[in-house]
């Protein structure tokens, strides 16, 4: 209301001519008080029926929240100052000799402002540059004292604050969210014994076995160096050249070409620690461990055509989804599970658990749930938190240790090394988002940007002048697991690392037919983008060692004959213990069957049946879904009964790919929509992407116009005369099914 009362800036004229000589009003009266800040409305918030309390106490992460409170700043009611606290009288014009005269060098206010601006950017991460993060907590659900002395797993019910960052790998900081790519899943646990970082991905394996090859992999994957193309894409010559010469990457390639690489949401993907880690208990006994995060909402993905189009109409698709869900109190949640096994067990597996291109099938070692992760607060500031957070595989706490995975070894070095330059010196652990909640005391001193003010003369150990403090924690502190080592120094890999295809085959054979079709189509797409034919052929020869059916299908898609298979590095292929693992299919985890936070479009235009719209909105909100009214334009729409309904967005701003489902209510509006190519396109895309669709009353005419049959409909296409309770129930059930694979054809029929 205040903004409406004063829609312009009344101070503005005073910046010109003789008036400029008089000092500004200088208080938050007039314009400043009149123009109320625009409240940031969360679209999702409107749609969530049971909006949860958002008081800081309800956020469940007390300790970290309190620690960050120390550094939060808020300019509400404050006067403008320089960085040195000097009040600034005029922030509109630089200091000049006369109104038309030269700007003056002594204008320290202008110079400070511009200089700071000039240095606002820091280098982006060399990989995982594009990311989004949130605060939350980890709750231990099962005391693990028998296997680890890590404090965070000490008792059921114990909560530890966390900060979690999701990311894509290849693209630059401003790149699209829905690229075909691996997703980072990095968790920082602020435990009472220091920070533990579990820096994982949404896929349980990796492209390479040894850190020595990481720079090569990343150079091949990133935009090509001569022309800086393509952005955020693996579909180019250098990537496929490299991976086709590195048969160890085959298993990961299958994952990267699967739907796992285009998640529907960060909230709907799994996470994995990838490497085999070690738990160590109070008696020093070690157990090997693999970490798994499983989303409560189930694992769901986009389809490729949809991902490509979303990247145009909302490059921030995943960032927005995560932000909106948390703002609406729809807190994403994952279960933490562990696979526990001994060195002895591992020695009998057909693969080596130190090889990051292999997973441990769940059928061989089951996953035991031990806790849950809840993200319940968005960062206050993207740069201070999401950009400056520094994850590192070397951040371990007592009770958790490394294994000799040679890929992990390189990571232990790499993260802190890259952060030294990315965050500008050795004191980035003092940045509030990186600082542990556990106290820090040591004799490290000085360096760029030091914040702590260390007191006293003593910064060495042993000392007597400081009473011997800080003193060593002894057995209570971190002690490396004493793994015996006696071997010759050499460069090489263990024999079992040489088998590259068993698990690629296991993965492919464990997918549903629709998932397999998507994998074949992804290889076809990526290899069609490759310009050197010999690379295509080489990949086909690699695929023959995975699945003859897959190789034949991809060859067909490329118009190529199937070549000879690639020679294997290992003459005798070891027998795999597990030949079929349903857990590897996304369909194995449909979630809890609900439709919470799913976005559903209701297409409206002048003359739409308002009662049907209301019934749809109520039914969807009751289930926690987010209905959005999409019209030819935003704003008020005259419904059939002359009541007013308001379109939340237009066909132009929110096309079909941004929604999980669509409903078209009846009424005269249908005729208007039928003349709008964007409405037709909306339905065709929903159909092509196998999403649930509902036509009510003469809404069916729009479906027919789009070439989508209502009589004898395809799976997931529903229709009814009116918005009865039973059709609404069926629609909700259809949305819970996510997609109707049976409707998909290659090429698409619509
Ligand atoms: Fe990373 N990785 N990585 N990585 N990684 C980085 O660290 C590296 C690997 C992962 O949200 C960098 O601070 C090497 C596997 C995530 O801030 C860098 C090797 C896995 C993130 C680095 C690997 C990951 C990174 C870039 C092979 C899954 C983002 C900026 C030896 C288990 C963390 C930075 C965030 C980031 C090095 C392989 C996950 C360069 C050398 C395997 C989630 O240090």
- Give residue 10's pLDDT: 80
- Give residue 12's pLDDT: 87
ipTM for the complex? 0.97
Domain 502-588 class in CATH: mainly alpha
User: Distance between CA atoms of 339 and 362, rounded to whole angstroms?
Assistant: 8
Residue ranges for the known binding site for heme are: 125, 165, 214, 411, 415, 422
598: buried, middle or exposed (CB in 10 Å: 19+, 13-18, 0-12)?
buried
The series of mean pLDDT values per 10 residues for the chain, 750 residues long, is 63 90 72 49 41 40 82 91 94 96 96 96 98 98 98 98 98 98 98 98 98 98 98 98 98 98 98 98 98 98 98 98 98 98 98 98 98 98 98 98 98 98 97 97 97 96 96 95 95 96 98 98 98 98 98 98 96 94 96 95 97 98 98 95 94 98 97 98 98 97 97 97 98 97 94
Residue ranges for the known binding site are: 125, 165, 214, 411, 415, 422
Nearest atom, ligand 1, residue 206 CA: 42
CATH 3.30.429.10 matches 599-743? no
Contacts of 702 (CB under 8 A, 6+ apart): 603, 664, 670, 673, 674, 679, 680, 683, 695
Ligand 1 centroid from CA 272, angstroms? 13
Catalytic residue selected from 9, 83, 84, 201: 201
Q: Is the pTM of this model over 0.90?
A: yes
- Give residue 7's pLDDT: 72
Nearest atom, ligand 1, residue 125 CA: 30
Nearest atom, ligand 1, residue 389 CA: 17
Nearest atom, ligand 1, residue 418 CA: 44
- Give residue 44's pLDDT: 47
Ligand 1 centroid from CA 361, angstroms? 24
| Strand 635-638 relative to strand 644-647, pairing | antiparallel
Instruction: Using the CB atoms, write b or e for 229-262: b if 16+ within 10 Å.
Output: ebebbbbbebbbbbbbebbbbbbbbbbbbbbbbb
- Give residue 215's pLDDT: 98
Nearest CA to ligand 1 atom 18: 415
Nearest atom, ligand 1, residue 210 CA: 31
46: buried, middle or exposed (CB in 10 Å: 19+, 13-18, 0-12)?
middle
226 catalytic per annotation: no
Ligand 1 centroid from CA 229, angstroms? 22
- Give residue 34's pLDDT: 53
Strand partners, 446: none
443 catalytic per annotation: no
User: Distance between CA atoms of 695 and 706, rounded to whole angstroms?
Assistant: 12
Q: Which residue has the tokens 């159909």?
A: 687
Report the residue among 124, 127, 173, 201 best suited for mutation to probe ligand 1: largest number of ligand atoms under 8 A from its CB: 127
Q: How far is CA 559 from the centre of its chain?
A: 36
Q: Which long-range contacts (CB under 8 A, 24 or more apart) does 198-202 make?
A: 198/273, 198/291, 199/391, 199/392, 199/393, 199/411, 199/415, 200/271, 200/272, 200/273, 200/274, 200/291, 200/293, 201/271, 201/272, 201/274, 202/260, 202/263, 202/269, 202/270, 202/271, 202/272
Catalytic residue selected from 128, 236, 292, 518: 128
Return the sign of the alpha-carbon dihedral for residues 40, 41, 42, 48. Answer: positive
- Count other Cβ atoms within 10 Å, centred on residue 59: 20
Ligand 1 centroid from CA 478, angstroms? 23
Cβ–Cβ under 8 Å, residues 148 and 160: no
Cβ–Cβ under 8 Å, residues 330 and 597: yes
- Give residue 70's pLDDT: 86
CATH numeric code, 131-232+259-430: 2.40.180.10
User: Distance between CA atoms of 414 and 417, rounded to whole angstroms?
Assistant: 5
Report the residue among 125, 173, 202, 428 best suited for mutation to probe ligand 1: largest number of ligand atoms under 8 A from its CB: 125
Domain segments of the chain: what residues? 131-232+259-430, 502-588, 599-743
Cβ–Cβ under 8 Å, residues 624 and 48: yes
- Give residue 53's pLDDT: 38
Ligand 1 centroid from CA 33, angstroms? 47
- Give residue 64's pLDDT: 86
- Give residue 29's pLDDT: 55
Which residues' Cβ are closer than 6 Å to ligand 1? Answer: 125-128, 131, 165, 167, 184, 186, 199-201, 206, 211, 214, 274, 356, 391, 407, 410-411, 414-415, 418-419
């Amino acid at each position: 209301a205040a903004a409406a009362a004063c829609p312009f800036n009344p101070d503005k004229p005073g910046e010109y001519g003789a008036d400029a000589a008089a000092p500004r009003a200088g208080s938050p009266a007039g314009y400043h008080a009149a123009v109320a800040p625009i409240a940031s409305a969360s679209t999702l918030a409107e749609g969530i029926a049971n909006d949860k309390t958002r008081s800081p106490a309800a956020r469940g992460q007390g300790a970290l929240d309190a620690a960050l409170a120390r550094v939060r700043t808020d300019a509400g009611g404050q006067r403008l100052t320089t960085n040195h606290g000097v009040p600034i009288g005029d922030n509109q014009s630089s200091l000049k000799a006369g109104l038309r005269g030269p700007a003056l060098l002594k204008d320290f206010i202008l110079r400070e402002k511009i200089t700071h601006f000039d240095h606002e950017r820091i280098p982006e991460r060399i990989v995982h540059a594009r990311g989004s993060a949130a605060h939350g907590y980890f709750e231990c659900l099962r005391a693990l004292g028998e296997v680890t002395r890590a404090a965070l797993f000490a008792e059921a019910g114990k909560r530890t604050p966390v900060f979690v960052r999701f990311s894509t790998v290849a693209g630059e900081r401003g790149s699209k969210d829905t690229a075909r790519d691996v997703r980072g899943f990095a968790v920082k646990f602020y435990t009472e014994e220091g920070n533990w970082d579990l820096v994982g991905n949404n896929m349980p394996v990796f492209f390479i076995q040894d850190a020595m090859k990481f720079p090569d992999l990343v150079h091949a994957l990133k935009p090509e160096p001569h022309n800086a193309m393509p952005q955020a894409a693996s579909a180019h010559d250098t990537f496929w050249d490299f991976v086709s010469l590195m048969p160890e990457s085959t298993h990961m390639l299958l994952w990267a070409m699967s739907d796992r690489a285009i998640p529907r949401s960060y909230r709907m993907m799994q996470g994995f620690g990838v490497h085999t880690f070690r738990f160590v208990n109070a008696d020093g006994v070690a157990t090997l461990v693999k970490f798994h995060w499983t989303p409560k909402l189930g694992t769901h993905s986009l389809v490729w055509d949809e991902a490509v189009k979303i990247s145009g109409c909302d490059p921030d698709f995943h960032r927005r989804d995560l932000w909106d869900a948390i703002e609406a109190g729809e807190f994403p949640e994952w279960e933490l599970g562990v696979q526990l096994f001994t060195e002895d067990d591992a020695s009998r597996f057909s693969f080596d658990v130190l090889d990051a291109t292999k997973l441990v099938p769940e059928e061989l070692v089951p996953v035991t749930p031990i806790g849950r992760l809840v993200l319940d607060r968005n960062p206050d500031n993207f740069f201070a938190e999401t950009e400056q957070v520094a994850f590192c595989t070397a951040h371990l706490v007592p009770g958790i240790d490394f294994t000799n995975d040679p890929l992990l070894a390189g990571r232990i070095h790499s993260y802190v090394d890259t952060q030294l330059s990315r965050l500008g010196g050795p004191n980035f652990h003092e940045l509030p988002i990186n600082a542990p909640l556990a106290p820090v005391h040591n004799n490290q001193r000085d360096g760029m940007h030091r914040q702590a003010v260390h007191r006293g003369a003593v910064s060495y150990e042993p000392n007597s002048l400081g009473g011997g403090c800080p003193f060593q924690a002894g057995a209570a502190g971190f002690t490396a697991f004493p793994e015996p080592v006696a071997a010759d120094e050499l460069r090489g890999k263990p024999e079992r690392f040489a088998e590259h295809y068993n698990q690629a085959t296991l993965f492919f054979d464990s997918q549903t037919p629709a998932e397999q079709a998507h994998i074949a189509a992804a290889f076809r797409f990526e290899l069609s983008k490759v310009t050197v034919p010999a690379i295509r052929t080489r990949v086909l020869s690699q695929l023959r060692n995975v699945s003859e059916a897959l190789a034949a299908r991809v060859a067909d898609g490329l118009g190529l004959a199937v070549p000879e298979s690639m020679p294997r590095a290992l003459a005798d292929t070891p027998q795999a213990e597990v030949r079929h693992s349903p857990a590897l299919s996304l369909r194995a985890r449909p979630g809890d069957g609900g439709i919470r936070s799913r976005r559903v479009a209701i297409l409206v235009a002048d003359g739409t049946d308002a009662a049907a719209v209301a019934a749809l909105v109520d039914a969807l909100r009751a289930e926690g879904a987010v209905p959005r009214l999409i019209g030819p334009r935003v704003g008020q729409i005259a419904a059939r009964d002359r009541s007013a309904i308001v379109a939340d967005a237009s066909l132009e701003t929110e096309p079909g790919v941004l929604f999980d489902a669509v409903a078209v209510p009846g009424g005269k509006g249908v005729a208007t929509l039928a003349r709008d190519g964007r409405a037709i396109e909306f339905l065709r895309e929903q159909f092509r992407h196998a999403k649930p669709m509902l036509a009510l009353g003469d809404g069916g005419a729009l479906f027919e116009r789009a070439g989508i049959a209502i009589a004898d409909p395809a799976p997931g296409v529903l229709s009814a005369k009116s918005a009865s309770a039973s059709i609404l129930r069926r629609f909700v059930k259809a949305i819970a099914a996510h997609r109707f694979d049976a409707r998909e054809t290659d090429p698409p029929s619509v």
